[in-house]
Amino acid sequence: MKVKLIAGILFILLGAVALFYHGIPYTKKEDVLKIGTVKAQVQTKETYEVHPAISGLVLVGGIVLLVASLRKPS
């Protein structure tokens, strides 16, 4: 029962972020120079593009899981 609740909350958050930001933002680190123990890194912000329909389906799936976890068995 708790697994459904946690999964539902995570799907709702993931679907909402993907829907409002038109994707899932993340930061990527790359080594551009490495000499001995000295290294230079570059951080780039990128977005994993997600179609709005898929984001909506994940959001609705999360809501369904959340409601199913809160219902008492008969």
Q: What pLDDT is recorded for position 74?
A: 62
- Tokens 């679907």 sit on residue: 15
What pLDDT is recorded for position 64? Answer: 93
pLDDT tens by residue, 14-65: 998 888 888 778 899 998 888 888 889 999 998 888 888 998 999 999 999 9
In angstroms, the Cα distances linking 57 to 14, 29, 35 are 11, 31, 47
pTM of the model as a whole: 0.67
pLDDT at position 40 is 92
**What is the rounded CA–CA span in Å between residue 39 and residue 51?**
37
Distance CA 32, CA 52 (A): 34
Who's near 35: CB < 8 A, 6+ residues apart? none
Residue 11 pLDDT exceeds 90? yes
